[in-house]
Chains A and B, each alone.
Chain A
Amino acid sequence: MSENGNAYSERYTLNLGPQHPSTHGVLRIVADFDGETCISADPVIGYLHRGMEKLLESRTYPQGLPYTDRLDYLAGVNNNLPLALAVEKLLGVEIPERASLLRMLTCEIMRLASYMVGIGIYIMDLGAVSGVFYPFQQREYALEVMSALCGARMTQGYIRFGGVQADWNDEAEAALDVLYKELPPFIEMYHKLIDENEIFLRRTKGVGVITAERAKSYALTGPNLRASGVDYDLRRDAPYCLYDRFTIKVPVQQAGDCHARYAQRMLEVEEILKLIKAIHAALKETEPGKIMGAVPKMLRPPAGEAYAQTENPKGIMGCLVASDGKGVNPLRVHFRRPSFDNIAIFSELMPGHKVADLIAIIASFDIVLGEIDG
């Protein structure tokens, strides 16, 4: 008899990843198993480390911005924002209203795109390969808006210190109309496709349960936190940009299991769409053209440090920028990357589960390795 009570099984170590399609990139998990049951799990990271913070420190402030897109590469603009907000705090510049609205609009569009990937890949990791294509189509509509607006689908680098790079145009408007048209039928269809599927339910209900207490003590953020019953969303609770102008409904799930994390994202998608419509309406009321604040060509923020955080698709992204007041490079840049903090709970969450559940747990967290490894 083994320690787990399983007859004829012995303890062995299974190396999951880094080259494995269901690890969302290059996450490696070294897990000990007794038969089918996980005894311990240890995430090993760093396979995609590019030294993002040091890259930023060795470049001027504006030159650093395009690199941040490569953190959470599924939601490029969302990563620009915390850096921009932190540097703007140091500079003390005023952001025009239209620029703020454009930032929020693009962030919400990319949040939608990122959720689509999160949901689609989740379903695919559980074995339903065709389930990934429908959300990816919606994501494509969202990326079309971005490529019409700023010329790139994924690594947009759209936000500039003091404003945004380009103004809203007719092409982006047309692309957004397509998204408005296509998304609601998709949401309805996807609920029908997945929600009652017995295989999906049995593989996710009661698997990887995180209580609200554990979620908070492990500093989970984003949809993973809200799926555990903690009602916290920065956009509503500590608004940045102009989020305080809009009513943001934050859905919350109580179960805290893998299924709740899926349901949470599907509910949030609907709220995001409503928010996009509200911001879009507000954007139409502002005067076109004013998208940059008064920012000097050579950025030399006064000495000091500033921290800004935003609600990213994966959780709370924070950025600390320190300036010595002399150089054109930041003295120190540090990112709080939500996926990195979220996976800390894996070592506690995974033991006790079966091999296949590990995949469900990883998938339900919607991690992105560009962000974890920095």
Chain B
Amino acid sequence: MFGKGILKGLAQTGKQVVSKRLTEKYPEEKPHLPERWRGNTFALEKDKCISCGLCAMSCPNKVIRQKFDKDEDGKKICTEFVMERQYCLFCGLCVEACPKGCLHLTHDFETAVYSAADVPQDLLADNHLDAAISKYGEKPPLVKPVIPPKPAAAAPAAAKPAAEDAKGGEA
């Protein structure tokens, strides 16, 4: 009989009508996010950051704008740390590259803002640690002991070619 297949299909549709609803009622109910979920903002543990610049060097799209200076003890400090999020791929390479594990992605996903000027994140002005931090890129503790004097100077030297490539040799 012509139309039997359609009726058989309709019976399936009928079954779906009475089955459990799968739609998440989004604005009222927040979605469940896995712990490694990569959100759209960054958080920085400022006191742990050693201003090595490895995060900026590893970024494929030059999202991270950093400026460095020396403080009175001659220690390298970071004077500017801005994530230009409008260019970000949210690939997480920067988070993985950080030797101190102090740069994090967060679970923020409702990141709409009124002005384009609000998109970049100045992590020195607001380190954003109040957001839910993603566990993405968390490494098991390093086995090799880190030599305490001047780790900041050693790291960029080792990765110099990448620096030239990614940031025009700025570091």
Contacts and interface: CB of A to CB of B under 8 A. Distances in A.
Interface of A: 59-60, 62-67, 130, 134, 137, 144, 147-152, 155, 157, 165-166, 169, 171, 175, 189, 192-201, 289, 297-298, 328-329
Nearest 4 interchain pairs by C-beta: A196-B5, A66-B91, A63-B60, A151-B38
A198 B91 contact: no
B62 to A, nearest CB: 10
B41 interface: no
Q: Which of B33, B89, B137 has the most CB of A within 10 A?
A: B89
Contacts, number: 99
A144 to B, nearest CB: 8
B79 interface: no
Nearest to A165: B96
B6 A199 contact: yes
B14 to A, nearest CB: 11
Q: Which of B8, B58, B91 gathers the greatest number of chain A CB atoms within 10 Å? A: B91
Nearest to A148: B34
A171 B34 contact: yes
B165 interface: yes
Given A147-B34, A151-B136, A297-B159, A195 B165 contact: no
Contacts of B134: 151
B58 A63 contact: yes
Given A134-B16, A165-B137, A328-B161, 14 more contacts: A62-B93, A66-B89, A137-B22, A147-B33, A151-B92, A152-B38, A155-B90, A155-B91, A175-B34, A197-B5, A197-B8, A198-B3, A298-B158, A298-B162
Contacts of A147: 33-34, 36-37
Interface in B67-123: 89-93, 96, 105
B124 interface: no
Contacts of A148: 34, 36
Among B140, B158, B161, B166, residue most surrounded by chain A Cβ atoms (within 10 Å): B161
Interface string B1-39: 011111011011101100000100000000001111110
A155 B22 contact: no
B91 A157 contact: yes
20 contacts: A59-B60, A66-B91, A67-B89, A144-B34, A147-B33, A147-B34, A150-B136, A165-B92, A189-B15, A192-B11, A195-B5, A197-B8, A198-B3, A198-B5, A200-B5, A201-B5, A298-B158, A298-B161, A328-B162, A329-B165
B2 A151 contact: no
B92 A157 contact: yes
A155 B93 CA distance: 13
Interface of B: 2-6, 8-9, 11-13, 15-16, 22, 33-38, 58-60, 89-93, 96, 105, 134, 136-137, 140, 158-159, 161-162, 165-166
B31 to A, nearest CB: 10
A298 B58 CA distance: 11
Nearest to B164: A328
Interface centre among B6, B105, B134, B140 (most CB of A within 10 A): B6
Contacts of B35: 171
A134 B5 CA distance: 18
Contacts of A62: 58, 93
B157 to A, nearest CB: 12
Nearest to A66: B91
Contacts of A144: 34
B50 to A, nearest CB: 17
A201 B9 CA distance: 13
Contact of B90 (A59, A67, A152, A199): A152
B93 A63 contact: yes
Given A151-B136, A193-B12, A169 B5 contact: no
Contacts of A194: 9
A193 B13 contact: yes
B4 A196 contact: yes
Contacts of A166: 36, 136
Nearest to A175: B34
Q: With a 10 A CB-CB cut-off, give which of B2, B8, B11 has the most chain A CB atoms.
A: B8
A171 B158 CA distance: 37
B165 A60 contact: yes
A194 B4 CA distance: 12
